[in-house]
Structure 1
């Protein structure tokens, strides 16, 4: 493992995307624990991409236009659904004062879907990790697993930080309905923008 790998991975993880947005929304609407749970779900969403890269399925996504487009538009559809749910106060940025709150399983499942329906993660693992994989001790697969585990750990730690930050300012937002409405619109708009960006993405 090199410093270059750690720095590059950190930059990629810190850069705001669907996972960061979902974790911020969870922490903002339900507190630090929900933010940490969302971060865990988003981190688990990396596992299928890692498995795809190791087994060669990422190569299929890279070479098959149909496979890539199918996964891409499934991701777009889910992001638009997240935007719609957020505006209807039933999505990531809903505050359930009277109704039943979302369960831990629901928060984790949504976090997994947010990251699993992102074909660019598979391409990232396919194109990025091999540059740092050594063929020496332990073999390339073992080294890729090690690097992937480090990337997932960085993701979890950074995302938990995002969630705790959102939880820290939660009282200032929830106590002001106008601010919460504004935040819902911003989050919904961000989900739509990310969906549009993904729709326009080429392999």
Structure 2
């Protein structure tokens, strides 16, 4: 475990992506408790991509145009659906003063899907982890799992900070209908842009 890996991971975790935006939206719209489920889901959603990189499936996905396209377009459709929900004010990203109660596992599951349906994540791990390995074939798998576990821990910690920050602002923002409308349109626009970026991604 090197300082360079930790710094690289921290920078990646801090950059706002689908998981960060989803966590912020849940924290603002449903509160701290729901946001914790979002953090859990986004963190667990890393596991399939990590295992794919460790087992070499990420390389297969990267090499197979059809497999990459299937996962990619499923991800695009899911992001677009969430963007539409935010725009209409009734979806998972909607920021409302009295959001309907929802089971925590559903909130977490959406976070999992956001990562599972992003084919670039497994390719990212395939590129990120190998340079930080010791070079010993016998320990490569264990090292990749350890590095991936640290990355997941940093992701959870970073997303938790985002969630607590958004929850602290929740009461003030929900008091303004204009602010809520602006937030809903903003979350919808961000997810639409993320869907467009994913649509342009290549294996």
User: Shorter-chain TM-score: which interval?
Assistant: over 0.9
Provide the aligned C-alpha RMSD in A: 1.5
* 1:11 maps to 2:15: no
1: CA distance, partners of 2:36 / 2:14? 16
Map 1:99-178; keep pairs closer than 5 Å: 100-136=100-136, 139-178=139-178
Task: Give the structure 1 partner of residue 70 of structure 2.
Answer: 70
1:201 CA drift (Å): 1.3
1:124 CA drift (Å): 0.5
Task: Give the structure 2 partner of residue 196 of structure 1.
Answer: 196
Give the gaps of 5 or more residues in structure 1: none
1:127 CA drift (Å): 1.3
2: CA distance, partners of 1:193 / 1:19? 14
1:138 CA drift (Å): 6.5
Residues paired across the two proteins, number: 202
Task: Give the structure 1 partner of residue 28 of structure 2.
Answer: 28
Q: Once the two structures are superposed, what CA deviation does each residue of 1:61-98 show, in whole Å capped at 9, x if it has no partner?
A: 1111111111111111000000011122222224372x
Q: Once the two structures are superposed, what CA deviation does each residue of 1:140-171 show, in whole Å capped at 9, x if it has no partner?
A: 11111100000000000000111111101001
Q: Once the two structures are superposed, what CA deviation does each residue of 1:15-36 show, in whole Å capped at 9, x if it has no partner?
A: 0110000000011111222222
TM (normalized to structure 1)? 0.95
TM (normalized to structure 2)? 0.95
Give the gaps of 5 or more residues in structure 2: none
